[in-house]
Structure 1
Amino acid sequence: MKAYHTYSAVDVAWSLLKHAKEQGTCFSNLQLQKLTYVCHGLSLAHFQRPLVVDDVFAWKFGPVVPSVYFRFKSYGSSEITEQCDVALDQESESIVKDVVSQLGHLTGPQLVDLTHRDGSPWHQVWDGTHQKVIPDYLIQAHYSQIKQSGRTASL
Structure 2
Amino acid sequence: MSLLKHAYEQGKCFSNLQLEKLTYVCHGLSLAHFQRPLVIDDVFAWRFGPLVPSVYFRFKSYGVDVITEQGDVVLDAESESIVKDVVSQLGHLTGPQLMDLTHRDGSPWHQVWDGTHQKVIPDHLIQSHYAQIRQSGRTTSL
Q: Which bracket does the TM-score occupy, shorter chain normalised?
A: over 0.9
Runs of 4+ in 1 over 6 A off after TM superposition: none
Q: Deviations over 1:42-99 (max 9, x none)?
A: 0000111111100000000100011111100000000001123432100000000000
Q: Distance in 1 between matches of 2:73 and 2:55?
A: 15
Q: How does 1:32-51 map to 2 (within 5 A)?
A: 32-51=19-38
Q: Tell me if 1:150 matches 2:137.
A: yes
Q: Tell me if 1:108 matches 2:95.
A: yes
Identity %: 87
Structure 2 equivalent of residue 127 of structure 1: 114
TM-score, normalization: structure 2?
0.98
Q: Distance in 1 between matches of 2:57 and 2:92?
A: 23
For structure 1, list consecutive stretches of 5 or more residues without a partner in the other structure.
1-13
Structure 2 equivalent of residue 72 of structure 1: 59
Q: Distance in 2 between matches of 1:85 and 1:49?
A: 21
SS in 2 for 1:140: helix
- RMSD of aligned Cα (Å): 0.7
TM-score, normalization: structure 1?
0.90
For structure 2, list consecutive stretches of 5 or more residues without a partner in the other structure.
none
Q: Deviations over 1:100-149 (max 9, x none)?
A: 00000000000000000001000000000000000000000000000011
Give the aligned length: 142
Q: Distance in 1 between matches of 2:18 and 2:93?
A: 8
